[in-house]
Amino acid sequence: MSDALNGLVLDELEIVTRADLCGNGWVTPEELDLLASLGVIHGRGQGYPATCLRIVRRAARLKRGLEADWEAVAVIMDLLHEVEALKSELRGLKARERQRLAPGDDPHVFPEDGEPRD
């Protein structure tokens, strides 16, 4: 799995081992178990989705950078995930809005009554 650690694009279908997640010095096996118990990562069979590499690395950076405990890191990671989901939803809504508007339409005016949008 050394290729996975060298920056290849990883997806949910590829599986990495505990050794992959702990062998790079980001977390100890005990810390990995704690991250799993806090719901930060989720194992799958005999390993973890390859996307856990990014999650574990991010969690370790947050812990070190903020000098926070793992419980605080879990809350921060959850909030960051929510922010990312909201940003994605907003991008989708903006894209649908752009598709709905005809060329030359003013996006700040409702087409039904001509009143400005807030």
**pTM of structure:** 0.69
Give a yes or no: residue 60 inside a domain. yes
pLDDT of the residue at 26: 92
Give a yes or no: residue 117 inside a domain. no
pLDDT of the residue at 110: 62
Tens of pLDDT, residues 1-58: 444 444 555 566 788 999 999 988 899 999 999 999 999 999 877 789 999 999 999 9
pLDDT of the residue at 23: 87
| CA distances to 9, 82, 117 from 105, in Å | 40, 33, 13
Indicate the pLDDT class of residue 99, thresholds 50, 70 and 90. confident
pLDDT of the residue at 9: 57
Give a yes or no: residue 63 inside a domain. yes
Q: Are 15 and 43 in contact (CB under 8 A)?
A: no
Give a yes or no: residue 53 inside a domain. yes
Give a yes or no: residue 107 inside a domain. no
Percent of the chain at pLDDT exceeding 90? 60
Has residue 109 got a pLDDT over 50?
A: yes
Which helix H or strand E contains 99, and what residues bound it?
A: helix 70-100
Of 108 and 94, which is predicted with more confidence? Answer: 94
CATH number at residue 27: 1.10.1660.10
The whole domain housing 15 covers 2-100
The structural domain count of the chain equals 1
Give a yes or no: residue 45 inside a domain. yes
| 53 SS3 class | helix
Pairing of strands 15-16, 48-49: antiparallel
